[in-house]
């Protein structure tokens, strides 16, 4: 059976046709050259570039030797970022009984208030949030009256209104129309009956009463407005870093990362070059600066580290130690080869 390679940036495809068709698809645009796949590969068919060269120079992060590759799927199994996918007869390998390390982002939309903090924080722009909030007019009750006998259409109320609920129309007088028709309108869907216009009006032409504020309602108060929306995670972008889980104020997001581990930075060895910050796809590392602006140390938020080890591989002075201690959940492995492959990626990350 002949195996061929097809390259169509950013994808690399290794294809073997026969009784069973297998296709290994690598998305190089998402790859950070962490090298987990290369460490696991039982036939040494994968070569990864130094992560700093990928981040700084834009070099190709990964290459696969199609003549050596066995299309076993182990690389897809261990990849922390779903950069590699194995298709068997056009279907994901998991549909054919082969395992993948658990990686997921689960959102409880019953708890989510669609605040958008996850979208704001996500390092890969993988989350999209849309929110619908109630109109002010649905939440308040009140009255507003404008005495147009007193009103001089000065526009002070329009400028002062914090809700942009007042519109004053004041055409410029001319010889043809020396006394044009002026008007003032209040958008009841926007007005919150705050009284700013009333207190601003120089002619005392506006009267406002908020029934909710002063307890003068007859019958039921407006019910509390409901917030609705949508939230979606782009699996093609997500790196399962856990930032969305970490920042969510409602505990509505749960991220399952593939690896459990640890990361340490030796401040005495670190030279502050910033390569680790640049290569990290998770924004888990950041410079801390002193009062005068100088860089004092690299800070790690381990809650959002995926333990891929790209930072350790990129560090020119070996100041970072990353250890993949275990997997989050152990799937059933099909053969001893898979078990040995997993053993090779666990432990301290090596250059």
3-state secondary structure 146-205: ECCCCCCCCCHHHHHCCCCCEEEECCCCCCCCCCCCCEEEECCCCCCCCCHHHHHCCCCC
Whether the pLDDT of residue 290 is over 70: the answer is no
**Pairwise CA distance, residues 347 & 306, whole Å:** 14
Q: Quick one: pLDDT at residue 219?
A: 54
Fold classification of 136-214 is Alpha-Beta Plaits (3.30.70)
Report pLDDT digits (tens) over 29-75.
999 999 999 999 999 999 999 999 999 899 999 999 999 999 999 99
Tell me if domain 3-96 and domain 136-214 are identical in fold.
Answer: yes
Report pLDDT digits (tens) over 102-116.
999 999 999 999 999
CB atoms within 10 A of CB 263: 21
**Exposed (0-12), middle (13-18) or buried (19+): which is 23, by Cβ within 10 Å?**
middle
**SS3 label, residue 67:** coil
pLDDT band (50, 70, 90) for residue 222: low
User: What predicted TM-score, i.e. pTM, was given to this entire model?
Assistant: 0.82
Q: Which residue has 């053969």 as its token pair?
A: 335
Tokens representing 186 are: 């209040």
**Pairwise CA distance, residues 341 & 240, whole Å:** 22
Whether the pLDDT of residue 99 is over 70: the answer is yes
Whether the pLDDT of residue 159 is over 90: the answer is yes
pLDDT band (50, 70, 90) for residue 291: low
| 8-state DSSP, 225 | P
Whether the pLDDT of residue 216 is over 60: the answer is no
Q: Domain-by-domain residue ranges, the chain?
A: 3-96, 136-214
Which H/E stretch holds residue 347? Answer: strand 347-348
Q: Quick one: pLDDT at residue 43?
A: 96
Q: Quick one: pLDDT at residue 6?
A: 95
C-alpha closest to that of 64 among 4, 151, 135, 117: 4
Fold classification of 3-96 is Alpha-Beta Plaits (3.30.70)
**Residue 8 — φ and ψ, nearest 5°?**
-140, 95
C-alpha closest to that of 279 among 242, 316, 243: 316
Q: Quick one: pLDDT at residue 141?
A: 82
Which H/E stretch holds residue 207? Answer: strand 206-210
**Residue 132 — φ and ψ, nearest 5°?**
-120, 120
């Amino acid at each position: 059976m002949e195996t061929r390679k097809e390259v169509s940036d950013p994808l690399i495809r290794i294809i073997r046709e026969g009784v069973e068709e297998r296709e290994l698809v690598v998305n190089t645009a998402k790859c950070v050259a962490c090298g987990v796949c290369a460490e696991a590969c039982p036939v040494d068919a994968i070569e990864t570039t130094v992560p700093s060269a990928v981040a700084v120079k834009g070099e190709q992060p990964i290459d696969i030797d199609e003549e050596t590759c066995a299309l076993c799927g182990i690389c897809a199994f261990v990849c922390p970022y779903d950069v590699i996918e194995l298709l068997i007869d056009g279907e994901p390998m998991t549909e054919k009984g082969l395992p993948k390390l658990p990686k997921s982002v689960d959102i409880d939309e019953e708890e989510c208030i669609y605040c958008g903090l996850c979208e704001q924080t996500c390092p890969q722009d993988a989350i999209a949030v849309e929110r619908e909030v109630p109109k002010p007019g649905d939440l308040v009750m009140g009255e507003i009256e404008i005495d147009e006998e007193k009103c001089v259409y000065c526009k002070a109320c329009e400028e002062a209104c914090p809700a942009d609920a007042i519109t004053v129309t004041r055409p410029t007088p001319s010889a043809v129309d020396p006394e044009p028709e002026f008007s003032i309108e209040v958008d009841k869907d926007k007005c919150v009956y705050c009284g700013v216009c009333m207190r601003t009006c120089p002619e005392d032409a506006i009267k406002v009463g908020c029934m909710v504020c002063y307890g003068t309602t007859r019958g039921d108060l407006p019910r509390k407005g409901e917030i609705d929306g949508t939230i979606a995670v782009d699996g093609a972008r997500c790196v399962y870093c856990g930032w969305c889980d970490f920042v969510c104020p409602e505990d509505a997001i749960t991220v399952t990362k593939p690896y459990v581990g640890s990361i340490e930075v030796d401040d005495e060895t670190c030279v502050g070059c910033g390569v680790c910050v640049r290569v990290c796809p998770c924004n888990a590392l950041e410079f801390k600066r002193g009062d005068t602006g100088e860089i004092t140390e690299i800070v790690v938020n381990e809650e959002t580290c995926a333990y891929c080890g790209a930072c350790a591989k990129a560090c020119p002075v070996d100041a970072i130690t990353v250890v993949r201690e275990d997997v989050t959940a152990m799937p059933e492995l099909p053969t001893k080869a898979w078990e040995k492959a997993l053993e090779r990626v666990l432990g301290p990350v090596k250059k």
